[in-house]
A and B are shown apart, each in its own frame.
Chain A
Amino acid sequence: MNYPIWDVPIIGGGLLIGIVSILHTYVSQFAIGGSLFLVLTERKAYRENDPGMLEYVKRHSRFFLLLTVVFGAITGVGIWFTIGLVHPSATSALIHIFVWAWAIEWITFLVEVASAFVYYYAWDRLDRRTHLKIGWIYFWAAWLSLAIINGILAFMLTPGQWIITKNFWHAFLNPTYLPSLVLRTAVCLALAGLYALLTASRLQQAELRVKLVKYASRWLAPAFFVLPIAGIWYITQIPPLAREVSMGGAAAVTIFAGLSILFSVIIFAFVYFGPYREPGKFPFSFSVMFLFMGLLVTGDTEWVREAVRKPYIIYDYMYSNAFLVAHRDQYQREGSLASAKWVATKGIADADMTAAGRDIFELQCQSCHTIDGYIAIRPLVRDWPEEYIDRQLENLQTLKGYMPPFLGTPRERHALARWLASLKGNNVTGNIHIVKPSPVSRDLTQGDRDAK
Chain B
Amino acid sequence: MQSNIPIPDLDPVSLPAPVWLLKGLLLLTFFLHIIPMNLALGGGFVAAITDWIGRRRNSEHHLSLARSMARILPIVIAFAITLGVAPLLFIQVLYGQFFYTSSVLLAWPWLSVVVLLILSYYGFYLYSFRWEQLQGKRLVVVLASAILFAAIGLIYTNNLVLMLTPEKWAAMYFQNPHGTHLNLSDPTVVPRFLHFFTASFALAGLLTAVLGLLKQRQDSAYGQWVIRYGLLWFIIATLLQLGVGSWFFLSLPQAVRTMFMGGDGVATAILVVALVCAVASIALMLIGFGSSNPVWKVIAGIVLITLTIICMVLIRDLVRSAYLERYFDASRFSVEPQTGVIVLFFLLLLGGLGIIGYMMKKLLVAR
Whether A109 sits at the interface, judged by CB under 8 Å, is: yes
Q: Which of A69, A107, A126 contacts B349 (CB 8 A)?
A: A107
Instruction: Report Cα–Cα, A427/B118, bound state, in Å.
Output: 40
**Known A-B contacts A97-B13, A125-B366; A77 and B81 likewise in contact (beta carbons under 8 Å):** yes
Whether A130 sits at the interface, judged by CB under 8 Å, is: yes
B246: min CB distance to chain A, Å: 34
Which residues of the other chain, B, contact A91 by a CB distance below 8 angstroms?
92, 96, 100
Instruction: Report Cα–Cα, A122/B75, bound state, in Å.
Output: 14
Instruction: Report Cα–Cα, A85/B351, bound state, in Å.
Output: 34
- Give the contact stretch, choosing among A2-10, A46-54, A209-217: A2-10
Pick the most buried of A7, A84, A108, A438: most chain B CB atoms within 10 A of its CB.
A84
Q: Are A81 and B110 in contact (CB under 8 A)?
A: yes
Which residues of the other chain, B, contact A62 by a CB distance below 8 angstroms?
129
Q: Are A108 and B352 in contact (CB under 8 A)?
A: yes
**Known A-B contacts A137-B359, A342-B6; A73 and B12 likewise in contact (beta carbons under 8 Å):** no
Which residue of chain B has its CB nearest to the CB of A124? B366
Whether A92 sits at the interface, judged by CB under 8 Å, is: yes
Whether B111 sits at the interface, judged by CB under 8 Å, is: yes
Q: Are B100 and A3 in contact (CB under 8 A)?
A: yes
Instruction: Report Cα–Cα, A210/B207, bound state, in Å.
Output: 49
Instruction: Report Cα–Cα, A2/B175, bound state, in Å.
Output: 18
Q: Are B89 and A81 in contact (CB under 8 A)?
A: no
Whether A100 sits at the interface, judged by CB under 8 Å, is: yes
Which residue of chain B has its CB nearest to the CB of A140? B355
Q: Are B82 and A73 in contact (CB under 8 A)?
A: yes
Instruction: Report Cα–Cα, A28/B86, bound state, in Å.
Output: 19
Which residue of chain A has its CB nearest to the CB of B352? A107
Pick the most buried of A20, A104, A125: most chain B CB atoms within 10 A of its CB.
A104
Instruction: Report Cα–Cα, A5/B223, bound state, in Å.
Output: 56
Instruction: Report Cα–Cα, A2/B367, bound state, in Å.
Output: 56
Whether B255 sits at the interface, judged by CB under 8 Å, is: no
Whether B78 sits at the interface, judged by CB under 8 Å, is: yes
Q: Which of B22, B88, B104, B352 contacts A77 (CB 8 A)?
A: B88
Question: Can you list, as one digit per residue, whether each of B100-141 has a CB less than 8 Å from chain A (1) or not (0)?
Answer: 110111010011011001100110010001000000000000
Which residue of chain A has its CB nearest to the CB of B84? A77
Which residues of the other chain, B, contact A388 by a CB distance below 8 angstroms?
none
Q: Which of A92-146 contact B (CB under 8 A)?
A: 92-93, 95-97, 99-104, 106-111, 113-115, 117-118, 122, 125-126, 130, 134, 137
Instruction: Report Cα–Cα, A93/B104, bound state, in Å.
Output: 17
Q: Are B125 and A70 in contact (CB under 8 A)?
A: yes
Q: Which of B49-76 contact A (CB under 8 A)?
A: 75
Q: Which of B13, B16, B174 contacts A438 (CB 8 A)?
A: B174
Which residues of the other chain, B, contact A6 by a CB distance below 8 angstroms?
104, 107, 177-179
Instruction: Report Cα–Cα, A104/B347, bound state, in Å.
Output: 10
Instruction: Report Cα–Cα, A324/B179, bound state, in Å.
Output: 25
Whether A436 sits at the interface, judged by CB under 8 Å, is: yes
Q: How many residues does chain A have at the interface if contact means C-beta atoms less than 8 Å apart?
A: 69
Which residues of the other chain, B, contact A89 by a CB distance below 8 angstroms?
11
Which residues of the other chain, B, contact A380 by a CB distance below 8 angstroms?
none
Q: Are A81 and B113 in contact (CB under 8 A)?
A: yes
Q: Are B348 and A110 in contact (CB under 8 A)?
A: no
**Known A-B contacts A75-B114, A107-B349, A125-B366; A96 and B15 likewise in contact (beta carbons under 8 Å):** yes
**Known A-B contacts A134-B359, A439-B170; A122 and B111 likewise in contact (beta carbons under 8 Å):** no
Q: Which of A20, A69, A114 contacts B356 (CB 8 A)?
A: A114
Whether B362 sits at the interface, judged by CB under 8 Å, is: yes
Instruction: Report Cα–Cα, A109/B86, bound state, in Å.
Output: 11
Whether A168 sits at the interface, judged by CB under 8 Å, is: yes
Q: Are A9 and B178 in contact (CB under 8 A)?
A: yes
Instruction: Report Cα–Cα, A435/B178, bound state, in Å.
Output: 10
Q: Are B111 and A103 in contact (CB under 8 A)?
A: no
Which residues of the other chain, B, contact A126 by a CB distance below 8 angstroms?
362-363, 366
Q: Are B104 and A88 in contact (CB under 8 A)?
A: yes
**Known A-B contacts A82-B111, A108-B352, A118-B363; A7 and B178 likewise in contact (beta carbons under 8 Å):** yes
Question: Can you list, as one digit per residue, whether each of B169-212 has a CB less than 8 Å from chain A (1) or not (0)?
Answer: 11001111111000000000000000000000000000000000
Q: Are B81 and A73 in contact (CB under 8 A)?
A: yes
Q: Are B177 and A436 in contact (CB under 8 A)?
A: yes
Q: Are A439 and B174 in contact (CB under 8 A)?
A: yes
Which residue of chain A has its CB nearest to the CB of B75? A117
**Known A-B contacts A110-B352, A137-B355, A439-B174; A104 and B345 likewise in contact (beta carbons under 8 Å):** yes
Instruction: Show 17 A/B contacts (Cβ-Cβ < 8 Å), sorted by A.
Output: A4-B6, A4-B169, A7-B177, A70-B121, A84-B99, A97-B13, A99-B16, A99-B17, A103-B89, A107-B349, A109-B82, A110-B356, A113-B82, A118-B362, A126-B366, A434-B178, A437-B174
3 residue pairs, one from A and one from B, having the closest CB atoms: A88-B100, A78-B114, A96-B13
Q: Can you name 4 extra interface pairs (CB under 8 A) apart from A92-B92, A342-B6?
A: A66-B122, A92-B13, A100-B345, A436-B174
